[in-house]
């Protein structure tokens, strides 16, 4: 039990560092590894979302001058709508075989592969600095993000690939992501706690050790994200998703 808690805390601390710098990646990185070390799927999602929510408070406070409240609220309402069917899918997946769970996580992580390929190898386009993301694609990105958050806690990729259709300042991008996490995650945590209280009790021992560690890590690494240029943020986002996708597909093949 203590080995599982210690390994989980290390995984979550590394994931917190990643999310602090690029604005996403905590669930993508940590949920598959938490399941690998023996944490059940639903408690793993609950732990990751709890830490992501509280860490987002630090991010919002640090980047408060770059917040976009109206956009964040619109995105959050759509995400909440998507969380409900996503959580129903999570209940089904949690009762499935380990192979099914692994395949589901592989699907979630690999969802952005086609978009990455198009971004990296398609016709190059030059966007001016400050270009807003494509607003026509926003509802689809927000709803699918909510569904993936409700399902596996991995709602970052749809938001990231929507943001990559524009070229906004890196601080505004990260501030948007943190504010959306902060506005939507409490709804899912309340839903999970109400529907399945055992999830909370299973997650609590890990949270007791991991939460203070991850908050310290977040507070330290947030400053590195402040120094990123837009192009570097986009490249780091794409590289991170590519590595995570490759890791999951290799584990499925094994």
Task: Pull the structure tokens for residue 67.
Answer: 């917040």
Task: Report how far residue 202's alpha carbon sits from residue 95's, in angstroms, rounded to the nearest whole number.
Answer: 16
Task: Report how far residue 22's alpha carbon sits from residue 237's, in angstroms, rounded to the nearest whole number.
Answer: 7
Task: Report how far residue 62's alpha carbon sits from residue 17's, in angstroms, rounded to the nearest whole number.
Answer: 15
Task: State residue 60's pLDDT score.
Answer: 92
| Residue whose tokens read 């505004």 | 172
Q: Considering its fold, how many domains does the chain have in total?
A: 1
Task: State residue 17's pLDDT score.
Answer: 86
Task: State residue 167's pLDDT score.
Answer: 73
Give the distance between the most distant pair of CA atoms in the chain.
52
Task: State residue 245's pLDDT score.
Answer: 66
Proportion of the chain above pLDDT 70, given as a percent: 81
Task: Report how far residue 250's alpha carbon sits from residue 75's, in angstroms, rounded to the nearest whole number.
Answer: 33
Task: Report how far residue 148's alpha carbon sits from residue 250's, in angstroms, rounded to the nearest whole number.
Answer: 21
Task: State residue 249's pLDDT score.
Answer: 60
Task: State residue 130's pLDDT score.
Answer: 66
**pTM metric for this prediction:** 0.84
Q: For the chain, which ranges sit under pLDDT 50? A: 119-120, 122-124
Q: Which domain holds residue 165?
A: 2-253
Q: Which residues pair with 131 in a beta bridge?
A: 167
Task: State residue 136's pLDDT score.
Answer: 87
The answer to whether residues 42 and 244 touch, using CB atoms and an 8 Å cutoff, is no
Task: State residue 124's pLDDT score.
Answer: 47
């Amino acid at each position: 039990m203590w080995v599982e808690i210690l390994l989980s805390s290390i995984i979550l601390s590394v994931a917190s560092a990643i999310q602090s710098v690029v604005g996403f990646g905590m669930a993508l990185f940590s949920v598959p590894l938490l399941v690998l070390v023996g944490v059940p799927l639903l408690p793993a999602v609950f732990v990751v979302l709890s830490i992501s929510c509280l860490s987002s408070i630090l991010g919002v406070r640090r980047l408060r001058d770059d917040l976009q409240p109206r956009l964040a609220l619109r995105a959050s309402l759509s995400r909440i709508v998507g969380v409900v069917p996503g959580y129903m899918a999570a209940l089904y997946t949690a009762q499935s075989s380990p192979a099914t769970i692994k395949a589901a996580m592989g699907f979630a992580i690999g969802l952005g592969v086609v978009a990455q390929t198009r971004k990296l190898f398609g016709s190059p386009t030059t966007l001016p600095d400050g270009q807003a993301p494509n607003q026509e694609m926003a509802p689809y990105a927000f709803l699918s993000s909510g569904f993936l958050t409700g399902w596996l806690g991995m709602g970052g990729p749809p938001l990231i690939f929507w943001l990559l259709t524009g070229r906004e300042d890196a601080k505004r991008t990260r501030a948007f992501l943190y504010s959306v996490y902060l506005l939507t995650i409490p709804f899912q945590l309340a839903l999970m706690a109400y529907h399945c209280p055992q999830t909370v009790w299973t997650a609590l021992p890990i949270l007791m050790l991991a939460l203070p560690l991850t908050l310290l890590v977040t507070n330290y690494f947030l400053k590195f994200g402040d120094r990123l240029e837009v192009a570097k943020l986009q490249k780091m986002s794409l590289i991170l998703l590519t590595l995570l996708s490759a890791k999951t597909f290799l584990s499925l093949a094994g």
